[in-house]
Chains A and B, each alone.
Chain A
Amino acid sequence: MLEVHGLKKRYGRKKPILEGVSFSVRPDSITCLIGLNGEGKSTILKAIMGLVPVDAGTVLVDGEVSREKIAFVPDLQTMPGYMTIGDALTYMGDYYPDWNPKVAEELMGLFKLLTTDKILELSKGNQAKFSLVLGFALDRPYLLLDEPFAGIDLFTKEQISWIFSSHYMEGRGILMTTHEIVEIEHLIDRVVFLQDGRIIDEHDTEEMREVYGKSVQDRMLEVYQR
């Protein structure tokens, strides 16, 4: 279980961006962080990975303070600009002991990516696919995805969505932020709604549909319009 306890973050004297955020991500499930722009969704993911310091709070992975069981796919390119896809895959193999070249190769084939392509010359959609390759080919039980569908076309969104129902998901706990709820609503197990740096609502999606008769999008509209 990935557990986030009481995350607090404030930039200077501004309004706090996170005010005691706590939630958990179960293995073998997809949890979606939902919030309007600037509500602190990306900050939570970065804080979990230690990429921004927090004022308070802890992150536990299976009861330990360790980030080496989590892979992170941010919504931007993180490999040096001069690299080709092949260079980047070699780089990952060199630095990460839990890199799985077989999974990387399979996903490269499925996404039709070429090792000779320069990363920064890839289209937005292919960059997103390649980022997913880098995340899913790490043998780690938890995966954080920041806006994996942002700015890409419908066809590519479908290709990317496929991975969340594939065997590459087995045993993994996924935490993602997205605005594109409709495309992946059927895949989400849990939703966490954020507003003003606090969690204002959270549900198991199955329960929400059965008990309240509402989709995630319906609930989202309800939450943010009140």
Chain B
Amino acid sequence: MKQYLMLTNEELKRSWKMIVAVILAMASIEILTVVGRVIYQERQVRNYMSDAKVTESEALRSFGKLSFEQASSYFSYVIMIGIVLVILYAIQIWYRDWFGESKYIYRLLLLPGGRAKIFFAKWTSLALVIISFIGLQWAVIQLSYAIFNWLIKNNYRASSFDISMTLKQLYTMNVVDVLILLILSLFVVSFLFMLVLLERSYRKAKGLLFIVLEVIALLVIMMGGMYVIETLDIFLSQEISGIMLAIFVLYFAYTIWKSLRLLKWKISV
């Protein structure tokens, strides 16, 4: 347990500069886009007023008022970039031990005790990064909303906006939804870890073949399961949810079991 915690700390120590830089960049971009959108809206209205010689309320009627949903419309792109970066980090966290400045993988695999701690330390690092990412989004949305209200003139603000609507679109506030999002993210991380370990175990064509087979197996399980359930039409909706959940839990456990076996028996430096 102590070694697992130390390794998790080690993993985060190796990445913290990159993680903080990405988090700061994402937060800055999101806040700046809200500020920019408000300023742009006001400038557009002012220009229209002087060009068309109309009053402010007439200009606003033509242009429309600005809601927080509109001002934060770029958030979804930033979130997409964040998701891609997390996926890249899930891959890089393994490969850096083979292709970094040193071959740290030798040291990791030679540590006393089992190798499962290596997997779980990396997995926990990813979990913490994902939780930080989700927390950041929540904080940035709150902060952007406050900045939006402080910056925009009352008569420029669309009265229909609702923070909970915006948050729902961009990012759920519900605790259960957040947990589901987190578990799904960790499943994706486990699946990616398994693919990386397959490649690191079998290498080249054989490694690629196993990766393709695992991806096909996942698609068959997902689509096949849904097709069978819909075709048979004998299950109640609650039973369908139960079956889907059981398949998900089993497959999730399989990805971890497979990764641990690869680490123990097949991995190569």
> Which of chain A's residues have a CB closer than 8 A to the CB of B14?
80, 82
A12-B103 in contact (CB<8A): no
B112-A96 in contact (CB<8A): yes
> Which of chain B's residues have a CB closer than 8 A to the CB of A72?
106, 110
> Which of chain B's residues have a CB closer than 8 A to the CB of A35?
none
Shortest distance in angstroms between A122's beta carbon and chain B's nearest beta carbon? 11
> Which of chain A's residues have a CB closer than 8 A to the CB of B10?
80
> Which of chain B's residues have a CB closer than 8 A to the CB of A97?
112
**Interface check B22, CB cutoff 8 A:** no
**Interface check A110, CB cutoff 8 A:** no
A53-B101 in contact (CB<8A): no
**Interface check B104, CB cutoff 8 A:** yes
A120-B101 in contact (CB<8A): yes
Tell me the bound Cα distance from A82 to B266 in angstroms: 29
User: Given that A94-B6, A95-B3 are known contacts, is A119 also in contact with B102, CB under 8 Å in the complex?
Assistant: yes
User: Given that A12-B204, A72-B110 are known contacts, is A46 also in contact with B269, CB under 8 Å in the complex?
Assistant: yes
**Interface check A37, CB cutoff 8 A:** no
**Interface check B41, CB cutoff 8 A:** no
Tell me the bound Cα distance from A74 to B206 in angstroms: 27
Of residues 13 through 48 on chain A, the ones whose CB sits less than 8 Å from some CB of chain B are 46
> Which of chain B's residues have a CB closer than 8 A to the CB of A78?
102-104, 106-107, 110
Of residues 241 through 269 on chain B, the ones whose CB sits less than 8 Å from some CB of chain A are 265-269
> Which of chain B's residues have a CB closer than 8 A to the CB of A12?
204-206
> Which of chain A's residues have a CB closer than 8 A to the CB of B205?
12
B111, closest chain A residue (CB)? A95
B107, closest chain A residue (CB)? A78
State the main secondary structure of chain B at its contact with A: helix
A51-B109 in contact (CB<8A): yes
Give chain A's interface residue range (CB within 8 Å of chain B): 20 to 34
| Cβ-defined partner of B104 (8 Å) among A46, A50, A52, A79 | A79
Tell me the bound Cα distance from A95 to B201 in angstroms: 25
> Which of chain A's residues have a CB closer than 8 A to the CB of B135?
none
**Interface check B36, CB cutoff 8 A:** no
Tell me the bound Cα distance from A114 to B145 in angstroms: 53
| Cβ-defined partner of A51 (8 Å) among B6, B104, B111, B268 | B268
Tell me the bound Cα distance from A68 to B106 in angstroms: 14
> Which of chain A's residues have a CB closer than 8 A to the CB of B106?
51, 72, 74, 76, 78
Tell me the bound Cα distance from A46 to B110 in angstroms: 10
> Which of chain A's residues have a CB closer than 8 A to the CB of B267?
53
Shortest distance in angstroms between B197's beta carbon and chain A's nearest beta carbon? 13
| Cβ-defined partner of A53 (8 Å) among B6, B100, B265 | B265
**Interface check A81, CB cutoff 8 A:** yes
User: Given that A12-B206, A95-B6 are known contacts, is A51 also in contact with B102, CB under 8 Å in the complex?
Assistant: no
11 pairs across A/B with beta carbons < 8 Å? A12-B206, A51-B268, A51-B269, A53-B268, A67-B110, A68-B112, A76-B102, A78-B103, A79-B102, A79-B104, A80-B100
Measured CB to CB, the residues of B under 8 A from A are 3, 6, 10, 14, 100-104, 106-107, 109-112, 201, 204-206, 265-269
